[in-house]
Amino acid sequence: MDEEIEIPPFFLCPISLEIMKDPVIVSTGITYDRDSIEKWLFSGKKNSCPVTKQDITDADLTPNHTLRRLIQSWCTLNASYGVERFPTPRPPVCKSEIEKLIKDSASSHQNQVKCLKRLRQIVSENKTNKRCLEAAGVPEFLATIVSNNESENVFDSSMSLTDEALSLLYHLETSETVLKNLLNNKKGRDIVSSLIKIMQRGMYESRAYATLLLKNILEVAEPMHIMNLKPSVFTEVVQILDDRISNKATKAALHILVNVCPWGRNRHKAVEAGAISMMIELLMDESFSSDRRGPEMAMVVLDLLCQCAEGRAEFLNHGAAIAVVCKKILRISQTASDRAVRVLLSVGRFCATPSLLHEMLQLGVVSKLCLVLQVNCGSKTKEKAKELLKLHARVWKESPCLPRNMILAYPS
């Protein structure tokens, strides 16, 4: 655009300061470009008007057709100066249309398939549609199909109605409020149990979506829900990790364990499901360690589980556990190093036997802890390393297995 062209100030969005392509009015009477105000309200999770600072009481955005036509006319008049006229924006889907679509789907299997296909099309169009679908009760509708587990009802040649509903439910990117409603529904549906069943028997893609949705739901769940999780949740989450369906599913499964293990008896449930052995196997896999976030979460899970006696016993039952954890110190990140030292401290404090202390010495744990004290890493990590070294100084400090330079670094 030519710099000499003066743009009328009321054509500019107050947020982006660019010409509005789809001007909409919020409840405070101020006009914004749709994309900018939606990002402000929904991505930024703010509920105030950027200009007036007043609360936006109604999330509905009213198209400002008059202003949009003015802007388009101005663009046309100034086309010779390089100003491009933007097309008339496609209106967002109507809530009443969605509600009718859902209502009609109850009449037959064919209508249900037709409904899901139309919803898939609407979801792919724009983010505004996703919020309209949410307001029309689509997440609850899809959750009902998922909970009914209609795997025998075919959607198309490659998937069932349940598979398609699950995929749509994930791609809706539903809000925290709706996720809580799905968890606390009053119609007897148990969305967590439904997702677990799909994780057990579904296709690979559906198992991945179920894991990702379970992660999102448990992130907003109340402590009481988390503490009452069934052992099957942990069994299937560990199985997802073992099967390595996808990187996203693996990280989601790790997120679930990180979020739920601190609550109630969930540590014991995770240990019984084989989570300790699974974390060690993951950490031994070099391809898994290529992205530091995965190993960090695996080490956090190990730290949480080693805070209970069953977890420490299971950890020591794995022949490679100590060596793997020791190796990861100072190799991945500060977070991973800190958690690894915490794991070793838990084991060294509560499970110390002459044979274990000798094994830790032979595997280089003592040397690595001495190195931690010498390098630039977190003060809390150093404190825990020093605590463990001092705890067993009588055995370790005078050992001929400890290199001389490490003896000099040994804390007094």
How far does Cα 32 stand from its chain's mean position?
A: 31
Contact partners, residue 81, CB within 8 Å, separation at least 6: 1, 2, 4, 5
29: left (phi over 0), alpha (psi -120 to 50) or beta: left
Residue-level pLDDT at 157: 46
pLDDT, tens digit (0-9, with 9 covering 90-100), for 352-393: 999 999 999 999 999 999 999 989 888 999 999 999 999 998
pLDDT above 70 for 262: yes
DSSP H helical ranges for 1-137: 34-38, 65-77, 95-105, 109-125, 127-135
Q: Confidence class of residue 148 from pLDDT cuts 50, 70 and 90?
A: confident
pLDDT above 90 for 72: yes
Contact partners, residue 206, CB within 8 Å, separation at least 6: 159, 162, 163, 166, 167, 198
Other CB atoms within a 10 A radius of the CB of residue 295 amount to 25
Q: Which domains, ranges and CATH numbers included, belong to the chain? A: 9-81 (3.30.40.10)
Other CB atoms within a 10 A radius of the CB of residue 374 amount to 12
**This prediction's pTM:** 0.83
Element holding 346 (H helix, E strand) = helix 334-350
> What mean pLDDT is predicted for residues 1-19?
85
For 199, list phi and psi in degrees, rounded to 5. Answer: -65, -25
Q: Confidence class of residue 264 from pLDDT cuts 50, 70 and 90?
A: very high
**Do 23 and 32 touch, CB atoms closer than 8 A?**
yes
Tokens matching residue 154: 């075919």
> What mean pLDDT is predicted for residues 389-406?
82
> What mean pLDDT is predicted for residues 244-259?
96
Of 91, 208, 90, 102, the C-alpha closest to 145 is: 102
